[in-house]
Chains A and B, each alone.
Chain A
Amino acid sequence: MDTDTIAAISTPIGEGAISIVRMSGPDSIEIASKVFKGKNLKEAASHTIHYGKLIHPETKETVEEVMVTVMKSPKTFTREDIVEINCHGGFVSVNRVLELILENGARLAEPGEFTKRAFLNGRIDLSQAEAVIDLIRAKTDRAMNMALKQMDGRLSRLIQSLRQKLLETLAHVEVNIDYPEYDDVEEMTLEVMKTKTNQVHEEIEQLLQTARQGKILREGIGTAIIGRPNVGKSSLLNALAHENKAIVTDIPGTTRDVIEEYVNVRGVPLRLIDTAGIRETEDIVEKIGVERSRKVLKEADLVLLVLNYGDEWTEEDENLFKAVEGMDVIVIVNKTDLPRKINMDQVKERSKQYSLVTTSLIQEKGIDELEQAIADLFFEGDLDAGDLTYVSNVRHIQLLKEAKQSLGDAISGIEAGMPIDVVQIDVTRAWEILGEIVGDTVSDSLIDQLFSQFCLGK
């Protein structure tokens, strides 16, 4: 019955070396072709697998290195065209692939929707009917509960207030239309409408920005460990990784030629950047020094700057401090097991806007303090991501994007000189989409607003 194309991650997230994003529907192959560089999937035989890369159609950026399976209707699980994209495991890759697919025409599947389609298309036997119903019921209810729980109270309030703003504007326009002779309020003009629409558009844009930062939370806070050779970067890495069971994600040859490791420090997800670089260069003679650090710093949300307690302050240290100016930094003075050569007053003076921790990683001293410093930084809100109304749910992000799109359409309509009641179609749509996020789809609220906001008679 449905003719749209759905997509979802069909493997458990964060586990396993490979994750799969599955698409089902008439546009599956079309959508995959749009982003896939490799064999022409439209000409691929059914039930074949193809190696290639996913390229963002606008930025031309390589998103992932993947294996794509094409399965054509009707001999598939749902009896529709199915495309399965095998990508690297871990949060980042698979989410990025899903987002790319959603941006290019697929809709995020409802819970249990693949099974539902399989059922509706007659793929599953009649005797399984009740099991499917239970599945739909259970999954929908659970997903609804989860979505509600997941939703930050602040987010919900924010969306409600955006909706209210739109609703008041809509009610105003409706009053002008349905009660043209009503003189209590001046006519809603395109300029006013544009201002209001722009406001909400911007707020959604900000929310989506935080969504990107929310993604930091989902994907981990990009953390760079920098310092001169032999200050103990590798030990720090190992200490964090060992304590916290790192998940290693290997992404060779894709966007970044780096290895990332995930650690969870007291509830704060850290994505450690360029751990391979650290490990490799620590043992051999490191030549790149600050240059390499600069590259890593570009991606970092948090910097762990390591100094050597048993060595003197150098110009290179000074350069590192300059390189991290304005960032969130924790300064670690390591190797307290060695005789002190560094001038701690100088260190304190230079680190006064940062947290400062002393450690002896070899003796496993100071690790607790370091972890506490990271947690404090995050939870006390020094780190940006700690104090945000953030959107992390893919469905919410998708809906916010759609709402923003509708408001964008409305603004273009206004600029093109369309009449207000025509422009309003897009504004109403945005209002409805925002309602889907907070689970409010009562269509009569506009009329209620109309009558409570205005005194109507004729």
Chain B
Amino acid sequence: MYDAGQYDVIVIGAGHAGCEAGLAAARMGAKTLMLTLNLDLVAFMPCNPSIGGPAKGVVVREIDALGGEMGKNIDKTHIQMRMLNTSKGPAVRALRAQADKVLYQQEMKKTLENQENLTLRQGMVDRLIVEDGVCKGVITETKAAYYAQSVVITTGTFMRGKVLIGDIEYESGPNNQRPSVKLSEHLEELGFELIRFKTGTPPRVNSHTIDYSKTEIQPGDDEPRAFSYETTEFITDQIPCWLTYTGEFTHKIIDENLHRSSMYSGMVKGTGPRYCPSIEDKVVRFHDKPRHQIFLEPEGRNTDEVYVQGLSTSMPEDIQKRLLETIPGLEKAELMRAGYAIEYDAIVPTQLWPTLETKKIKGLYTAGQINGTSGYEEAAGQGIMAGINAAAKALDKEPVILDRSQAYIGVLIDDLVTKGTNEPYRLLTSRAEYRLLLRHDNADLRLTDIGYQIGLISEERYRIFQEKKQLIEEEKKRLDKVIIKPTEKVQTMLKDAGGASLKEAVRANDFLKRPEITYEMLKTLTPPEQQLPADVEEQVEIQVKYEGYIKKSLQQVERMKKMEDKKIPSDLDYDAIQGLATEAKEKLKKVRPLSVGQASRISGVNPSDISILLVYLEQGKIARVSSS
């Protein structure tokens, strides 16, 4: 073993969590080392070539508002982008991009390489250096010992990864990379509780062999879109995706060969996600459904590989080929890579503080799929927070915890550390109680201040942000003063829009609250002094139109805040509290919530337990566990 140097922060892994963690730490001024198994696979997308979607797309914007990279990177490397849920309300609109996988990796790698304070190195970490319950560094398989103030593990699905295709299984990370076995064993030695999860991926086929005439085209939006608030250059030459369906024969082959699927033969031990089932799962669970959608997604501009979204499977290769033959457009499709299931170790996330630091070992953080989530965006969202907090620790700054009303990232992390998860966790909009506040359009308004305070947002960007904020407030104020009279022009406008006529003069903001009136229309009646940027107009419209609902949500947040503000010492001795129900006591001891609000979200902790907890906290008669 040799001393390979001292850093502030070490990040193990350079996937979507690792990249955000490393960049955030380095940008905050921490001397950062990123260690990854394979430098050619930085920010690799082992599964679907897309980023964003409902809830996930909002996370990408949140990462951007905090000064992260995912949004900028996909803005530079996508092949198409679409705004989803445009027919619905502003709270659930979301962007999704199809990525050029290789370009995405290259671009991210370039960003890492150019980042000051950041060292990128290939290497497999086998062990952590832990002294007196504090993580001091890592040791690689090449016997290099790196020392640091804090360490972030972002190993994804690599820990004791095992690939399964039919009755074949072998130890492997995704896409036949080397798995990380020793680190997993080492974490168990250190006393961490691990769980076994499973996920899967569909086959890829050659684009030249697809008969697209039998499929439906799915183009990107004509309007230029971007995730990052800083993006000014837009990609215009987009590539479409294609839609086709499974059918009766597909399902028949699955039925007949179910025993050959690794998942149904009993080979797979890990728990898979319900929201991303394999095709065999879909056919078994929804047997009466005559067809399932299959999306054909190009993996990039310079490749002919096409991702067969919706056909995730652990069937043997010969069956996979036969399945493809039953799908319109894919009858002659050439299989390039077979789909597979992958099992891996994750750590039970209730072992983490909301900062993503482990409770067991100080200075050790985990982020991404290792924490039981799935999805690039979920990984990146945790990555940036773990990076921020690891750097904060090293640089002796305050940690940052986002709450459930501030960001989807807050919802995600709170769910993980408070409730844990018994399947790979995916963000859904329904997991957020304040969905109307956590919109994709206002991520900057919610989080730029925080990003600026921790040093991830530049002065220039912050100045532009403040100008935007000011313009929004000024325009809202103006609309509160302007009076719209029932003139002929107004009545005609209302009539054309299918609304009831105006009986008496109203304030412009009340006029805008009418469902048939848009800001665009209002502007023609009362133009602002100067033309406002589109994002300012959008904000004004949303904030005015949904004011009542937003207020209601804010009141809920106020109520929640009171409970969140009641802090619980992390070393509270729950055994010394009389009257707590046994189940509640066990759960509280395990989760060790930092606030009464968090405690109240633990399943099995009842209102009476919370009352008792409050009594103890209020009286200051608190027993603490001795630090031993």
**Beyond A1-B566, A419-B89, is A137–B293 a contact (Cβ under 8 Å)?**
no
Contact A3 B562 (CB under 8 A): yes
Contact A425 B435 (CB under 8 A): yes
B549 interface contact, C-beta 8 A: yes
B536 interface contact, C-beta 8 A: no
A133-B579, A447-B431 provided; 12 other pairs, C-beta below 8 A? A129-B616, A129-B619, A177-B85, A417-B516, A418-B515, A418-B549, A421-B85, A421-B435, A422-B91, A425-B553, A455-B277, A457-B312
Query: Least Cβ distance of A458 to chain B in Å?
Result: 6
Q: List the B residue with the shortest CB-CB distance to A132.
A: B615
Residues in B whose Cβ lies below 8 Å from that of A186: none
A120 interface contact, C-beta 8 A: yes
Query: Least Cβ distance of A140 to chain B in Å?
Result: 4
22 A-B pairs with C-beta separation under 8 A: A1-B562, A1-B618, A110-B607, A120-B618, A122-B618, A126-B621, A129-B621, A140-B607, A178-B54, A181-B293, A182-B293, A413-B549, A418-B89, A418-B549, A419-B88, A421-B91, A421-B429, A422-B436, A446-B430, A450-B430, A457-B309, A458-B310
Could you give, for residues 170-186 of chain A, a 1 whenever the CB lies within 8 Å of some chain B CB and a 0 otherwise?
A: 10001011111111100
How distant is the Cα of A140 from the Cα of B397 in the complex, in angstroms? 43
Q: List the B residue with the shortest CB-CB distance to A187.
A: B87
Contact B430 A174 (CB under 8 A): yes
**Beyond A446-B430, A455-B286, is A177–B92 a contact (Cβ under 8 Å)?**
yes
B159 interface contact, C-beta 8 A: no
Query: Least Cβ distance of B622 to chain A in Å?
Result: 12
Contact B429 A178 (CB under 8 A): yes
How distant is the Cα of A421 from the Cα of B88 in the complex, in angstroms? 7
Interface residues of B, count at CB 8 A = 51
Within 8 Å by CB of B578, from A126, A130, A182, A458, lies A130
Residues in B whose Cβ lies below 8 Å from that of A51: none
Query: Least Cβ distance of A26 to chain B in Å?
Result: 13
Contact A457 B85 (CB under 8 A): no
Query: Least Cβ distance of B382 to chain A in Å?
Result: 20
Report B's interface with A, CB cutoff 8 A. 54-55, 84-85, 87-92, 274-277, 282, 285-286, 289, 292-293, 295, 309-310, 312, 428-431, 435-436, 515-516, 546, 549, 552-553, 562, 566, 578-579, 603, 607-608, 611-612, 614-616, 618-619, 621
Q: Which of A390-421 contact B (CB under 8 A)?
A: 413, 416-421
Residues in A whose Cβ lies below 8 Å from that of B85: 176-177, 180, 421
Could you give, for residues 434-453 of chain A, a 1 whenever the CB lies within 8 Å of some chain B CB and a 0 otherwise?
A: 00000000100011001100
Residues in A whose Cβ lies below 8 Å from that of B562: 1-3
A134 interface contact, C-beta 8 A: yes
**Beyond A451-B275, A455-B286, is A420–B293 a contact (Cβ under 8 Å)?**
no
How distant is the Cα of A419 from the Cα of B293 in the complex, in angstroms? 27
Contact B436 A425 (CB under 8 A): yes
Within 8 Å by CB of A456, from B277, B430, B578, lies B277
Contact A455 B282 (CB under 8 A): yes
**Beyond A133-B578, A178-B54, A422-B89, is A457–B431 a contact (Cβ under 8 Å)?**
no
Query: Least Cβ distance of A126 to chain B in Å?
Result: 6
Q: Which of A111-143 contact B (CB under 8 A)?
A: 116, 119-120, 122, 126, 129-130, 132-134, 136-137, 140-141
Residues in A whose Cβ lies below 8 Å from that of B607: 110, 140
Query: Least Cβ distance of A422 to chain B in Å?
Result: 5
Q: List the B residue with the shortest CB-CB distance to A439.
A: B606
Contact A136 B608 (CB under 8 A): yes
Query: Least Cβ distance of A7 to chain B in Å?
Result: 18
Residues in A whose Cβ lies below 8 Å from that of B603: 442
How distant is the Cα of A129 from the Cα of B435 in the complex, in angstroms? 40
Q: List the A residue with the shortest CB-CB distance to B620.
A: A126
Residues in A whose Cβ lies below 8 Å from that of B546: 418, 422
How distant is the Cα of A119 from the Cα of B615 in the complex, in angstroms? 7
Interface residues of A, count at CB 8 A = 48
Contact A174 B429 (CB under 8 A): yes
Query: Least Cβ distance of B159 to chain A in Å?
Result: 26
Residues in B whose Cβ lies below 8 Å from that of A456: 274-277
Q: List the B residue with the shortest CB-CB distance to A179.
A: B54
Query: Least Cβ distance of A201 to chain B in Å?
Result: 19
**Beyond A182-B293, A418-B549, is A447–B428 a contact (Cβ under 8 Å)?**
yes
**Beyond A133-B578, A451-B275, is A174–B435 a contact (Cβ under 8 Å)?**
no
**Residue with the highest number of chain B CB atoms closer than 10 Å, among A119, A141, A416, A422:** A422
**6 tightest CB-CB pairs across the interface, nearest first?**
A417-B515, A419-B89, A455-B286, A133-B579, A140-B608, A451-B274
Residues in B whose Cβ lies below 8 Å from that of A133: 578-579, 612, 615
How distant is the Cα of A177 from the Cα of B309 in the complex, in angstroms? 19
Residues in B whose Cβ lies below 8 Å from that of A447: 428, 430-431
**Beyond A116-B611, A447-B428, A447-B430, is A420–B88 a contact (Cβ under 8 Å)?**
yes
How distant is the Cα of A421 from the Cα of B437 in the complex, in angstroms? 12
How distant is the Cα of A182 from the Cα of B276 in the complex, in angstroms? 13
How distant is the Cα of A176 from the Cα of B85 in the complex, in angstroms? 8
Residues in A whose Cβ lies below 8 Å from that of B614: 1, 120
Query: Least Cβ distance of B620 to chain A in Å?
Result: 9
Residues in A whose Cβ lies below 8 Å from that of B286: 455
**Residue with the highest number of chain B CB atoms closer than 10 Å, among A140, A180, A184, A446:** A180
Residues in B whose Cβ lies below 8 Å from that of A422: 89, 91, 436, 546, 549
Residues in A whose Cβ lies below 8 Å from that of B429: 174, 177-178, 421
Residues in B whose Cβ lies below 8 Å from that of A136: 579, 608, 611-612, 615
Q: List the B residue with the shortest CB-CB distance to A136.
A: B611
Q: List the A residue with the shortest CB-CB distance to B618.
A: A120
Residues in A whose Cβ lies below 8 Å from that of B516: 417
How distant is the Cα of A420 from the Cα of B276 in the complex, in angstroms? 25
How distant is the Cα of A170 from the Cα of B428 in the complex, in angstroms? 13
Contact A137 B549 (CB under 8 A): no
How distant is the Cα of A170 from the Cα of B429 in the complex, in angstroms? 12
How distant is the Cα of A399 from the Cα of B359 in the complex, in angstroms? 40
Contact A455 B292 (CB under 8 A): yes
Residues in B whose Cβ lies below 8 Å from that of A177: 54, 85, 88, 92, 429-430
How distant is the Cα of A454 from the Cα of B202 in the complex, in angstroms? 21
Residues in A whose Cβ lies below 8 Å from that of B436: 422, 425
Query: Least Cβ distance of B537 to chain A in Å?
Result: 18
**Residue with the highest number of chain A CB atoms closer than 10 Å, among B275, B562, B621:** B275
How distant is the Cα of A129 from the Cα of B621 in the complex, in angstroms? 10
How distant is the Cα of A185 from the Cα of B312 in the complex, in angstroms? 22
Q: Which of A150-202 contact B (CB under 8 A)?
A: 170, 174, 176-184, 187
Residues in A whose Cβ lies below 8 Å from that of B293: 181-183, 457-458
Contact A457 B428 (CB under 8 A): no
How distant is the Cα of A140 from the Cα of B428 in the complex, in angstroms? 34
How distant is the Cα of A457 from the Cα of B430 in the complex, in angstroms? 17
Query: Least Cβ distance of A428 to chain B in Å?
Result: 9
Query: Least Cβ distance of A137 to chain B in Å?
Result: 5
Contact A116 B615 (CB under 8 A): yes
Could you give, for residues 1-24 of chain A, a 1 whenever the CB lies within 8 Å of some chain B CB and a 0 otherwise?
A: 111000000000000000000000
Q: List the A residue with the shortest CB-CB distance to B86.
A: A180
Contact A421 B89 (CB under 8 A): yes
Residues in B whose Cβ lies below 8 Å from that of A174: 428-430
Within 8 Å by CB of A457, from B55, B310, B615, lies B310
Contact B552 A178 (CB under 8 A): no
Contact B515 A120 (CB under 8 A): no
Q: List the B residue with the shortest CB-CB distance to A140.
A: B608
Q: List the A residue with the shortest CB-CB distance to B565.
A: A1
Q: List the A residue with the shortest CB-CB distance to B563.
A: A1
How distant is the Cα of A134 from the Cα of B615 in the complex, in angstroms? 12
Residues in A whose Cβ lies below 8 Å from that of B621: 126, 129
Residues in B whose Cβ lies below 8 Å from that of A137: 579, 608, 612
